[in-house]
Amino acid sequence: MMSGAALSLASLAAPAGASDRYGQRPPVVLSPDLSAPWVMQLGGQAAPRGGVVYRTQPRSVRTPAYQARTPRAETRRVTNAALAAPRPKPAPVRQMDPQFLPQTVAYDGDQKPGTIIIDTSQRFLYFVEGNGQARRYGVGVGKEGHAWSGTERISRKAEWPDWRPPAEMIKRVREKEGRILPVHMAGGPENPLGARALYLGSTLYRIHGTNQPWTIGNAVSSGCIRMRNEDVTELYERVQVGAKVIVM
């Protein structure tokens, strides 16, 4: 009987002992930091009802030193670099001296109207009009070693003429300047003979236009007389084949 009662008391006391044993179980916390254990013991802290607390402040995370560039920041950096870069100097503006623009001047010489007189030293071409007047144009003339003088007649007129530089000219330019001239160039805006040409007798010389109007007033040609395209076109309409041309 005693042993049975003892066993009965022992069985009744067992639940109470288990409750006492685990009644002070320390609280636990779930960590939001996935690099740490997902359950952590909180020793020495009172647990709230239910026995679980959640950490409200995560561990401090060190910000990486490198930060990705945003498109806006990259654009600003490129723009600032472009503004800081030195700007190239603008190309010089090529202009012709206004004194070489066409104008009507007094003429008291003895040449007949329709005659052309070219003063190579002053870089002027005169078209005698009569009534004591002449139309004066600025011209480019032969450079040193290519200047000439004499009297010729207009043997032919051509609009937008082709250019066939003579063989000696091709050789000279290649040897002195290193440029290779074409054997033939069709007429057009890129052609150095310009918009019109007046051929002088049987020579290789012409009065012609140019695609380099800023050279008017200078000794730059291989002997031809060059004019602005506007000016040679005006002269072309007024001069006749057979007209006398005096080069001084």
Which portions of the chain are predicted below pLDDT 50? 1-19, 36-57, 61, 66
Catalytic residue at 146? no
| Cα distances (angstroms) measured from residue 17 to each of 2, 20, 25, 52, 57 | 22, 5, 14, 23, 38
Q: pLDDT per residue over 71-119, tens digit each?
A: 555 555 555 555 555 676 765 668 889 999 999 999 999 999 999 999 9
What pLDDT, on the 0 to 100 scale, is given for residue 214? 94
pLDDT of residue 173: 86
Q: Output the pLDDT for position 43.
A: 46
The rounded distance, in Å, linking the Cα atoms of 190 and 171 is: 21
Alpha carbons 210 and 152: distance in angstroms, whole number: 21
| Cα–Cα distance for residue pair 19/11, rounded to 1 Å | 14
Among candidates 199, 114, 192, 126, which has minimal Cα distance to 158?
A: 199
pLDDT at site 95: 84
DSSP letter string over 109-136? SSPPTT-EEEETTTTEEEEEEETTEEEE
Q: Are 184 and 163 in contact (CB under 8 A)?
A: yes
Give pLDDT tens digits for 185-195. 999 999 999 99
The CATH superfamily label for domain 101-247 reads: L,D-transpeptidase catalytic domain-like (2.40.440.10)
Where in the chain are all domains bearing CATH 2.40.440.10? 101-247
The active-site residue out of 123, 196, 208, 228 is: 208
115 is catalytic: no
User: What is the reported pLDDT for 176?
Assistant: 84
8 Å CB contact between 100 and 123: yes
DSSP 24-53: TPPPEEE-S-TTS-SEEE-TTS---TTSEE
116, 141, 195, 224: the active-site residue: 224
Query: What pLDDT does 3 receive?
Result: 46
Those residues whose C-beta lies under 8 Å from the C-beta of residue 193, and which sit 6 or more positions away, are: 161, 162, 163, 187, 206, 208, 209, 210
Residue 96 confidence (pLDDT): 86
pTM over cut 0.75: no
